[in-house]
Amino acid sequence: MKAILLEADWSPRPGLSLSPTQEAERKATGSQVWRHPRFSSTQLADPSPGHGQVVVRVRACGVCGSDTHCLETDPQGYILFSGPVSLPVVPGHEYAGEVVALGPGVRSLQVGDLVAAEGMLNCGVCEACRSGHPNQCPHLEMVGFSAPGAYAEYIVVDERFCWSLNALAERTGDAQAALELGALVEPISCPFNGIFVAGRGMRPGDHVVVYGAGPIGLGAIALARAAGAATITAFDVSPERIELARLCGADAAFDPRRVTPSEAVLEATRGWGADLQVEAAGAAVQTMPEIERCFAPGGQMVYLGRTGERAPVMLDALVTGAASIVGSRGHVGMGCFPQVIRLLEHARIEVAPMITSRRPFADFHAALEQSCARTDGKIMLVY
């Protein structure tokens, strides 16, 4: 099968201490060990399914900011992605496709089913998994980073990570449209997990603020709209993404370099502040001081962005305002995927505008280059 392969040089940063397992498996924090990344087109053997597994013919796969972070490097040549990476690997983790082969023991899927699949492969057995924290599984493998991904014609996946898109395809009457929406389920499930699983949830009538209007922030906006937010205020530095924020449900969206975010939020909420603030910009050094200035009493911040830098926080603001900060990673388990699919099936979230570019799989390299500009919503590869 045709596939894209990501390779780089294993070159742990001087002074970095790695466990013998990390050394042996060559699996560690990408930005600490992998240097001089190279993406190439290649031919790999067609996969066959093991027990409880299916083969999915990939039909749509979104280009994720994490993929961009595997192309971009720091001045020393290290990739920017800070999750666990084991190379070489086929990247790609925001995908949907059609089941084309079943392994023994598969019960819930049939050949021809359309599915979206979770991209964080938790073990299901450890204490974190069995205590309701599957995204914190210490044995987590990440599709497209430490396990084979979807920038390929086929991918093998455990049945338990797949969720049917058949009903969504029936509703849209267009299998390709359903598959492209299906490939958005992963980036929308991340804010779903952050707001409704890891966080305390939100209430209809809440004032909501979203920092960063990339796909994760846009998903947060659409979900907050569906959950009955009174107002949604969004911030992004890209004019294109400011417009997308409005299309996905924000009442107002601003460039934080032109307005002071906390002031805009206090104005939009008549001085009450934000009940829920979602950080999806990965710019906590800049956003945190603004966030702490506009918490509503008892307000909550959900941190979804990533940055290796230490952010300035005046914790006293949390005491005075009974405010809280919760972090969240991932999307696996806890009903995130099936509920997002349900929202799509019943047209309760407006996310189609998120797809701002479609490119054939053969244009992978150009799509990845395009993603570096960070002006698109989602660039979708179609197969």
| DSSP output for 151-193 | SBSEEEEEGGGEEE-HHHHHHHT-HHHHHHHHHHHHHHHHHHI
- Binding-site size for Zn ion (CB under 5 A) equals 6
Half-sphere exposure of residue 41: CA atoms within 13 angstroms, side-chain side: 8
Candidates 31, 66, 86, 146; catalytic one: 66
Residue with smaller CB distance to Zn ion, 213 or 296: 213
Tokens representing 307?
């940055």
Residue with smaller CB distance to Zn ion, 137 or 325: 137
- Select the span of 9-17, 114-122, 197-205, 225-233 touching Zn ion (CB under 5 A): 114-122
- Select the span of 76-84, 128-136, 331-339, 350-358 touching Zn ion (CB under 5 A): 128-136
Least distance in angstroms from the C-beta of 242 to Zn ion: 22
Candidates 19, 41, 69, 131; catalytic one: 69
Choosing from 109, 123, 230, 317, the residue that interacts with Zn ion (CB under 5 A) is: 123
Residues 57-76, interacting with Zn ion (CB under 5 A): 64
Annotated active-site residue 262? The verdict is no
CA–CA gap between residue 278 and residue 255 (Å, rounded): 16
| DSSP output for 90-115 | ----EEEEEEEEE-TT--S--TT-EE
- Select the span of 104-112, 119-127, 197-205, 346-354 touching Zn ion (CB under 5 A): 119-127
Choosing from 126, 237, 252, 313, the residue that interacts with Zn ion (CB under 5 A) is: 126
- Select the span of 80-88, 124-132, 177-185, 198-206 touching Zn ion (CB under 5 A): 124-132
Least distance in angstroms from the C-beta of 187 to Zn ion: 6
Least distance in angstroms from the C-beta of 136 to Zn ion: 8
CA–CA gap between residue 101 and residue 185 (Å, rounded): 23
Residue with smaller CB distance to Zn ion, 86 or 231: 86
Least distance in angstroms from the C-beta of 64 to Zn ion: 3
Least distance in angstroms from the C-beta of 61 to Zn ion: 10
CA–CA gap between residue 12 and residue 18 (Å, rounded): 8
Residue with smaller CB distance to Zn ion, 135 or 277: 135
Long-range contacts, stretch 240-247, CB < 8 angstroms, 24+ apart: 240/356, 240/375, 240/376, 240/377, 241/213, 241/214, 241/374, 241/375, 241/377, 242/213, 244/213, 244/218, 244/353, 244/354, 244/356, 244/377, 245/210, 245/213, 245/217, 245/218, 245/221, 247/350, 247/353
Choosing from 5, 106, 121, 129, the residue that interacts with Zn ion (CB under 5 A) is: 129
142 binds Zn ion (CB under 5 A): no
**The dihedral sign for the CA sequence 109, 379, 65, 227:** negative
CB 250 within 8 A of CB 224: no
Residue with smaller CB distance to Zn ion, 123 or 318: 123
Choosing from 137, 197, 245, 380, the residue that interacts with Zn ion (CB under 5 A) is: 137
Residue with smaller CB distance to Zn ion, 262 or 371: 371
Instruction: Enumerate the H helices of the chain as residue ranges.
Output: 20-25, 30-33, 65-71, 127-130, 166-172, 175-192, 215-226, 239-247, 261-268, 284-293, 316-321, 336-345, 364-371
Least distance in angstroms from the C-beta of 260 to Zn ion: 31
Least distance in angstroms from the C-beta of 51 to Zn ion: 19
Residue with smaller CB distance to Zn ion, 102 or 278: 278
Annotated active-site residue 365? The verdict is no
CA–CA gap between residue 244 and residue 59 (Å, rounded): 25
- Residues in contact with Zn ion by CB under 5 A are 64, 122-123, 126, 129, 137
List the catalytic residues.
66, 69
